[in-house]
Structure 1
Amino acid sequence: MSQPGNSRVNSRLWLFAGIGAVIGAIAGFLMGAPLTIPFLILGFTLGTGLGWILPVADSSAADSAAEDRPDPTDNS
């Protein structure tokens, strides 16, 4: 689902945006029915921004961190 040219636009970004939209819609509904859609849009935007600014986990960084850890099966 990730776009080849932009590694930040991936399923994690859409997950954050969706969660933000749901939270925004619930908050808008609790504040008053006419505010549901504006709060949904605001929540979606904030979720997208949060997903965009958080660092993306790089698999090569995780692999190098795993190489630095001692092997638990090594008894020497």
Structure 2
Amino acid sequence: MSLKVQTSNITNKNDPKSINSRVFIGNLNTAMVKKSDVETIFCKYGRVVGCSVHKGYAFVQYSNERHARAAVLGENGRVLAGQTL
């Protein structure tokens, strides 16, 4: 049985630690990709504390910068729902 942890929608804190721990996901097909999809894809890189999805893009907030950097390296250029991130 898997346990789904609900993340916050807050991804806009302006302190340096939060800024450096945030990933911008551009060119996101938000007609097909939902917040839960983004969380599922990006949680494998570390603890996701926030996720916000907007029309065409999203932000994922990690607990630390190391996780954010790993996500960028792992997902940059990935094709998701027919669009390259």
Same fold (TM over 0.5): no
Q: Say which structure is richer in helix.
A: 1
User: How does the TM-score come out when normalised to structure 2?
Assistant: 0.27
User: How does the TM-score come out when normalised to structure 1?
Assistant: 0.29
